[in-house]
Amino acid sequence: MKRLLLATPTMHEEELRYISEAFEKNWIAPLGFNCDGFEEEIARYLAQGGKEQLKCLSLCSGTSALHLAVKLAKVKRGDYVLCSDMTFSATVNPVVYEGGIPVFVDCERETWNMDPEALEKAFEKYPQAKTVMLAHLYGVPAKIDEIKQVCEKHGAILIEDAAEALSSDYKGRKAGTFGDFAALSFNGNKIITTSGGGMLITKNAKDRDKAFFWATQAREKAPWYQHEEIGYNYRMSNVVAGIGRGQLLHLEEHKQLKKKIYFKYKEGLKDIPVSMNPYLECSDPNFWLSCMLIDKDCKTGFMDVYDRLNEANIESRPIWKPMHLQPIFKNNGFVVKGDECVGEDIFSRGLCLPSDIKMTEEEQDYVIETIKSCF
């Protein structure tokens, strides 16, 4: 039997049409019609016919999009940036690229994302902080209204790391449209993929153009190569953007399949002492990865389940290990709401489950039965 994986790319036919067009026109370099088209299509998709004007920039990764967002937020050496604690390191590394100092903010139990009350406490402790980096974990939107309120109160810029949350809704609006800047990822394991890539979301052409300038080696307007700032080579290729355009046509379908997987787990695991990763009633997550949380007093540990699944040729993975527990960030600040650390608790009991949309019902039944056998 083949190994059941967390999430792998799911390709259709349209991707090849866009790629073929790039080949036929010999437009293989970065920049080009597929990049332009992809940016416009993502902007239109995220705005959903709303009045908001979004300006997008296609880039080589979600991490590069986050880096340029941090630059647009004007984070400078020594600046504190209040960051999600339980997330992938790519959320916070770009802060460090610019010399900023991440301060980690604990998560809450209702979405597993940054706790707005802990964020308020963080601002009391670090009143000079002017930027917040918020990730929507596993495609579940954070408590966005509350977070935005705290940001506005303190005059802080909000960057949304929506790498895992493309197509997730919060009160009828798409994740990635709430922050001053946002980043998407099209890495191979994400809900749609370009094999690798990312998108920076801004609210106006000026910001988008500035990011474009940095992403294309910071070339000043001159006949020769003239440089007044440090640049990067962060652009997406026209071939890769073609994959993205084809994938985007199937985003809603991917979301519905992810959702079906989540609810099948929820139903299948209801008689054992576990719960699924939670979300707010006012949100409609993309359920990028289904995760389970083992009840607190249960004898079965998450690594028992991990090992049993692994023996059964099923991939699973612990929840993102909180950043404040990472050796590289051991000297950084960390703020919790009360006495307990929610992120450490979730990390010690949670597991990401196979959520590949090509997984059959029988395969998922097999995963569910294997999990149940651990309890």
Ligand X SMILES: *Cc1c(COP(=O)(O)O)cnc(C)c1O
Nearer of residues 329 and 366 to ligand X, judged by Cβ: 329
Segment near ligand X (CB under 6 A); pick from 56-64, 100-108, 203-211, 236-244 = 56-64
Please pick, from the candidates 163, 192, 236, 257, the single residue that binds ligand X as defined by CB under 6 A.
163
Q: Is 135 in the site for ligand X (CB under 6 A)?
A: yes
CA–CA separation, 320 vs 261, rounded Å?
A: 20
In the complex, least distance from residue 87 CB atom to ligand X, rounded to whole angstroms: 5
Q: Is residue 162 a contact partner of residue 175, using CB atoms and an 8 Å limit? A: yes
- Does residue 139 bind ligand X (CB under 6 A)? no
286 is a site residue for ligand X (CB under 6 A): no
Q: Which of 61, 202, 286, 355 binds ligand X (CB under 6 A)?
A: 61
Using CB under 6 A as the binding criterion, the count of chain residues that bind ligand X stands at 14
Residue number with CB closer to ligand X (132 or 163):
163
Give all strands (DSSP E) within 330-375, no chain letters: 334-335, 350-352
Toward ligand X, which CB reaches closer, 154 or 198? 198
Q: What torsion do the CA atoms of 305, 311, 317, 321 make, to the nearest 10 degrees?
A: 70
Q: Which residue type occupies 239?
A: V
User: Toward ligand X, which CB reaches closer, 59 or 374?
Assistant: 59
Does residue 164 touch ligand X according to CB under 6 A? yes
Q: Which residue type occupies 373?
A: S
Residue identified by tokens 């054992």 is 272
Backbone angles phi, psi at 166, to 5 degrees: -60, 130
Q: How far is the CB of 303 from ligand X (least distance, A)?
A: 22
User: Binding to ligand X by residue 161, rule CB under 6 A?
Assistant: yes
CB nearer to ligand X: pick between 90 and 241: 90
Closest CA to 98 of 214, 3, 10, 176: 214
The two beta strands, 350-352 and 291-294, are antiparallel
How many angstroms separate the CA atoms of 9 and 312, rounded?
22
Q: Would you give the binding string for ligand X spanning residues 332-371, x where CB under 6 A is met?
A: ----------------------------------------
Buried b (16+ CB within 10 A) or exposed e, 210-238: bbbbbbeeeeeeeeeeeeeeeebebbbbb
Q: Which helix (H) or strand (E) holds 133?
A: strand 131-135
Does the footprint of ligand X cover residue 194 (CB under 6 A)? no
Three-class DSSP category at 293: strand
Which span (26-34, 160-168, 241-249, 308-316) binds ligand X, by CB under 6 A?
Answer: 160-168
Q: Which is nearer to ligand X, 137 or 261 (CB)?
A: 137
Could you list the residues that contact ligand X (CB under 6 A)? 61-63, 87-88, 90-91, 135, 161, 163-164, 185, 187, 198
